[in-house]
Chain A
Amino acid sequence: MNASTKRRSLWLLLTPMLLWIGLLFVLPHLKLFYLSFISRRGGEFTFANYLYFFQSPLYRKIFLRTAVFSILVTALTLLISFPLAFIITKVAGKRLKMMLLLAVILPYWVSELIQAFTWMVLFRESGVLSYLLQMLGITHHNIEFLYHDTTIAVGLVYTSLLFMTIPIMNSLDTLDDSLVEAAYDLGGNFWSTLREIIIPHAAPGIMVGSIMVFMLNLGNYVTVTLLGGKNSLWLTEIIYNQFIIRFNQNKGSAFSVILLTFSVIFVWIMLKITKQDLSEAM
């Protein structure tokens, strides 16, 4: 096969993906970007849509809440996923490995919506968890677990687990066990080995997982609205309101661009802080 044929078949194979990205991602986002700088009534160029967002204390508050919450959930997911990924790749035997892996993947066989509804069945005041606690004699009255921020966090961590665990497993897989043994031989303890050997090796996986989980949570709508109850206002709901309730595509677009920009900046900062390269991390 000569070089030109090779290049041509490469392009051919890329065509579906390029069409997909171009038509369904780049084009709509360009339109979104354009709309966000247009005034709704007059149709002229304006920054008003953005100013409106940043001048509203309410929207700033919701934005901050969404951002902080997403970061927190990402950290929590990492805390749970890392040991899990380590056990699956390094510690567990074949059988246990299979079972754990299945346990992580299984919930994704049903949609996020159904997951949220099952959480509601478990957590509601007259639900399974409340009933169990009473049966065990821990409490004597019904307890409501739903409609708290904690419930949202639990739900979000749960829906994110897979996206953190798999990339970390991927990078841990290539970690040579003898390196860990060598670390111990040279007088390292559990913590120093973890810090000096394991985490640096898994860093790309951690980074990829964190980016994915963070983005997923930032843009979540279903879990947050269903589990959150009366105090949950997520940025996505505000964007939905702009588009659907107020018929204001321009402000809606501006808000979407703000959300997008924030996540890009956040990812960039994270990569800088951890001294990772995007190409390396991916």
Chain B
Amino acid sequence: MKRHFWILAVVVLALALALAACGKSAPTQAPSETSAPSATEAPQAKTGGVLRILTWEGYAPEELVEKFVKETGIKVEITYIGDNNELIAKMAATKGVGFDLVSPTLNYVATAQDQFGIYQPIDLSKVNKDLFIPAYWDSILKNSEYEGKPYALPFVWGTTAMVVNLEKAPDAGQSYLDLCDPKYKGRVSYRAKYDTLYMFAYALGYDPAEAVKSEDEYRKVMNAVRDKLIECKPVVRTYWDSRQQLEDLLKNDEVWVATSWDAIAWTLMKEQPDKFKYVVPKEGAVGWFDTFAISAGAENVDAAYKWINFIMQPENAAVIINQTGYQTASQGAVELASPEMAKIVAETLPPEKMATIKWYFPLPPYAQDIQADVLEQVKAAESNK
């Protein structure tokens, strides 16, 4: 009898544990089910509590998090993502439950909302508009509109162009087609990602932002880019994936000419000004804008807005500029950032180059597929050495 009792006790305990584990997620999921499809009404906001942010590395520096906790008493939990698709996949899996504030790139906001309903509209009454640079404010609100409501606020932006080793390849960087020049055989690196596709499309004389509006047209343009990239494959050393990898390749002289995010190149320039330079070729840099968006499953909406109003204070945004090299939409932050960085930025991205920035364009679902097709074909193609 006694033995039976113990067996029973253990089984009951195990079942209870299993049920508790299942039950834990149930209450949090419930509100999302009602709010997610329409994504118009915010779930009940709590005061204080925890703010859960899904963002990119460097966008929520330790220093600022500590300051925010001290000022508001709200705890901050941060999860990092490395890719917009990863962000969307994560959010779509739970309809946004689990995160309050996210930082998607602008061109992904409206399409993701359309496909998955993972965000809720921005409540403009809760945001301090004076903190933002007006031009960015207007353009981001307009470009993130879905069914007449804005879904994103401007946060951080940057450009992608080329970095060259001035000692080994001083003439490179006139055009993105330099990435294909046999002169630099084995000394070239770029990403096997969408930004490279855009660069080559512009370099070949296409306008992908216009072509993307028609599926056939976009496939035609991307196929042309694919053929070029396959033709160029022998010139490429490897496709880079991470910031660290690109820095290693450049610092070890293994790669002389590469595509690069401005911040990576600027950091290298700060260390070795005579060796590296961020160059914007004649086609113009490719520009991206990361935003603030509120999750459809947010449980602490108030805290999310508090964070936005906090991080966009010029002295706080300046910390992000100094630590990452990225630019922000905060009014007056550049003036507070380090003068050394400001000088490098002004040198490599003067107003006339700024005017030629090709901003990322919204991607319809078929465009994602076309780009993925092309990139797979490029990666799978044999390069005859």
Contacts and interface: CB of A to CB of B under 8 A. Distances in A.
A245 interface: yes
A244 B236 contact: no
A225 B365 CA distance: 26
Contact of B238 (A15, A230, A243): A230
Interface string B232-243: 010011110100
A124 B251 CA distance: 12
A125 B3 contact: no
A271 interface: no
Contacts, number: 74
A241 interface: yes
Contact of B239 (A62, A125, A230): A230
A238 B376 CA distance: 8
Nearest to B90: A244
A244 B379 contact: no
B320 to A, nearest CB: 27
Contacts of A8: 4, 7
A62 B186 CA distance: 24
Contacts of B92: 247
A126 interface: yes
Contact of B376 (A9, A15, A147, A241): A241
Contacts of B14: 15-16, 19
B89 A61 contact: no
25 contacts: A9-B7, A12-B7, A12-B10, A19-B14, A19-B18, A58-B380, A124-B254, A144-B186, A144-B237, A144-B254, A229-B238, A230-B239, A231-B380, A231-B382, A231-B383, A241-B372, A243-B89, A244-B83, A244-B85, A245-B372, A246-B368, A246-B372, A247-B85, A247-B115, A248-B369
B88 interface: yes
A146 interface: yes
A58 B230 CA distance: 14
A233 B372 CA distance: 13
B252 interface: yes
Given A12-B10, A233-B380, 8 more contacts: A58-B380, A61-B380, A125-B254, A229-B239, A231-B380, A232-B379, A241-B372, A244-B83
A58 B238 contact: no
B11 interface: yes
A25 B198 CA distance: 41
Interface in A43-86: 58, 61-62
A16 to B, nearest CB: 8
Contact of A58 (B3, B4, B233, B377): B377
A126 B115 contact: no
